[in-house]
């Protein structure tokens, strides 16, 4: 039966003894003082600031929550991506990832993520035109790339060069000007593949291949990576589509580490290039976007199916992680991993089988039957198979996290704009519990023991 609407409780209101509490509240009794408080519950959350009213006396700062790594704290309201980790659901703006992977293109999905709705034909054509006509980068940027050693990691190059873009587009600091925000969004989505491809060509000593406006977003990226002496590069349509679907799967993933970095750094009102550089840096780590690179290294280290039990034993002893397994949110399965497995089959039909695939499949089979992984709800995540596809497409492992950063740029930008326009947001500034020494006086060096 529907419940009659209740008057909202005042935040952190102290409850008078004997009064029945509002049902949409949490009643908290502070056993230090014996006082009870009614805290409003909205959308399954309480406001941390409402706890501040709970004090032992006028000098008490008030209660805080302690949530290292933000495992149970919502930091924003967002309309962009919905994940139900227990049921393995991922929707962008309400559309299931499976439907987007089947019917959409990466650029259409990027539009959806940024603007909230699927584009009309005219909106889509304009959007694609704008992205396509921002792919060329300033020639000076090549000098930054040339300054790196031949074996520099492309993520390091990407972090630096994307940050450097802010020095080329000074109006990017006008973050509250919608037209300026729009221009930087076109530029960032358009230029990330160019920066990435130039970093790759630098690392293998090939001359840079410039963007080709006749090609699709992923077709052009393949062109800038792999074009040799041919007059016109023609991407294999199966590979072009596979990469496009991989980009769709990676376009956003709500408040993960790199998105939180984008929002956190962006909350200081810095320009979006600097904030994206911070997000790329967060993605670089082996526990986040660096994991697909680590999966490949792990599969190579295992080397054969016969050595899998030995590796699993080391995982269970806590010596190593099973890379590509486990997720902070998905505790049942990662819906992206399921789609990627299908793409892998299509790609291997073109490229030939990947010898590491047999090891990966066997590793997955053994792990999914093992109590250690079952009890901890550890399933393959998006990175478990994506690395095998990238390897078959001739990408060196160092490029794997770059292939994650390119499509995630759309998500970062959408989350950044949502944060900027949210009147409840301020500069991100967590609290701490101080555990260091109490106040003490400076001791001269000769008097120290």
Q: Coil, helix or strand for 90?
A: strand
Q: Label residue 236 exposed, middle or buried (CB < 10 Å: 0-12, 13-18, 19+).
A: middle
Nearer to ligand ACO, 9 or 363 (CB): 363
291 binds ligand ACO (CB under 6 A): yes
322 binds ligand ACO (CB under 6 A): yes
Nearer to ligand ACO, 288 or 341 (CB): 288
Nearer to ligand ACO, 153 or 181 (CB): 153
By CB under 6 A, name the one of 111, 325, 385, 412 that touches ligand ACO.
Answer: 325
Other CB atoms within 10 Å distance of the CB of residue 381: 24
Residue 108 Cβ vs ligand ACO, minimum distance, rounded to whole Å? 22
Residues 337-376, interacting with ligand ACO (CB under 6 A): 376
By CB under 6 A, name the one of 40, 326, 407, 411 that touches ligand ACO.
Answer: 326
- Site mask, ligand ACO, residues 377-396, x = CB under 6 A? -x--xxx-------------
Intra-chain end-to-end CA distance of the chain, in Å: 72
Nearer to ligand ACO, 83 or 291 (CB): 291
Calculate the alpha carbon distances from 318 to 311, 312, 314, 315 in Å.
Answer: 11, 10, 6, 5
327 is catalytic: yes
Residues in CB range of 5: below 8 A, 6 or more apart:
none
288 is catalytic: yes
287 binds ligand ACO (CB under 6 A): yes
Dihedral of the CA atoms 196, 330, 239, 130 (nearest 10)?
A: -50
Q: What CA–CA distance (Å, rounded) separates 96 from 77?
A: 20
Interface region with ligand ACO, contact rule CB under 6 A, candidates 167-175, 316-324, 343-351, 438-446: 316-324
Pick the catalytic residue from 50, 271, 334, 383: 383
Q: Coil, helix or strand for 38?
A: strand
Residue 147 Cβ vs ligand ACO, minimum distance, rounded to whole Å? 30
Pick the catalytic residue from 288, 371, 422, 441: 288
Q: Are 102 and 96 in contact (CB under 8 A)?
A: no
Q: Are 85 and 330 in contact (CB under 8 A)?
A: yes
Pick the catalytic residue from 86, 327, 371, 447: 327
Residue of 40, 39, 41, 35 lying closest to 16 (CA atoms): 35
Catalytic residues: 288, 327, 383
Residues that bind ligand ACO (CB under 6 A): 287-288, 291, 315, 321-328, 376, 378, 381-383
């Amino acid at each position: 039966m529907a419940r009659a609407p209740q008057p909202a409780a005042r935040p952190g209101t102290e409850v008078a003894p004997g009064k029945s509490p509002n049902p949409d509240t949490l009643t908290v009794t502070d056993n230090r003082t014996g006082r009870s408080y009614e805290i409003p519950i909205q959308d399954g959350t309480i406001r941390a600031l409402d706890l501040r009213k709970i004090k032992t006396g006028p000098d008490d700062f008030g209660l805080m929550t302690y949530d290292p790594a933000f495992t149970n704290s919502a930091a924003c309201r967002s309309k962009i991506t919905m994940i139900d980790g227990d049921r393995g659901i991922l929707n962008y703006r309400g559309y299931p990832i499976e439907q987007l992977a089947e019917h959409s293109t990466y650029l259409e999905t990027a539009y959806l993520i940024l603007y909230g709705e699927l584009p009309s034909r005219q909106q889509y054509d304009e959007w694609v035109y704008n992205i396509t006509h921002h792919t060329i980068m300033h020639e000076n940027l090549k000098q930054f790339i040339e300054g790196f050693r031949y074996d520099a990691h492309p993520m390091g190059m990407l972090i630096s060069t994307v940050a450097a873009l802010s020095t080329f587009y000074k109006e990017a600091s006008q973050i509250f000007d919608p037209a300026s925000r729009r221009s930087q969004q076109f530029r960032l989505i358009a230029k990330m593949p160019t920066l990435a491809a130039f970093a790759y060509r630098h690392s293998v000593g090939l001359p840079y291949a410039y963007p080709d406006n006749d090609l699709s977003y992923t077709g052009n990226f393949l062109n800038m990576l792999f074009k040799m002496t041919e007059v016109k590069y023609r991407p294999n349509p199966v590979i072009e589509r596979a990469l496009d679907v991989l980009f769709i799967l990676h376009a956003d993933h709500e408040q993960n580490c790199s998105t939180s970095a984008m929002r956190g750094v962006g909350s200081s009102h810095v320009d979006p290039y600097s904030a994206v550089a911070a997000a790329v840096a967060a993605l670089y780590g082996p526990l986040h976007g660096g994991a697909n690179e680590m999966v490949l290294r792990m599969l190579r280290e295992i080397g054969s199916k016969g050595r899998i039990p030995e590796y699993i034993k080391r995982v269970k002893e806590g010596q190593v992680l099973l890379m590509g397994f486990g997720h902070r949110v998905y505790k049942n399965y990662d819906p992206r991993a399921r789609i990627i497995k299908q793409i892998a089959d299509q790609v291997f039909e073109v490229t030939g089988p990947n010898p590491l695939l047999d090891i990966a499949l066997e590793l997955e089979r053994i792990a999914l039957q093992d109590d250690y992984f079952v009890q901890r709800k550890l399933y393959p995540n998006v990175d478990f198979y994506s690395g095998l596809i990238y390897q078959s497409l001739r990408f060196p492992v160092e490029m794997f996290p770059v292939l994650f950063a390119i499509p995630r740029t759309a998500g970062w930008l959408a989350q950044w704009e949502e944060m900027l326009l949210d009147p409840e947001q301020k500069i991100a500034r967590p609290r701490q519990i101080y555990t260091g020494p109490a106040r003490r006086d400076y001791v001269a060096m000769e008097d120290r023991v």
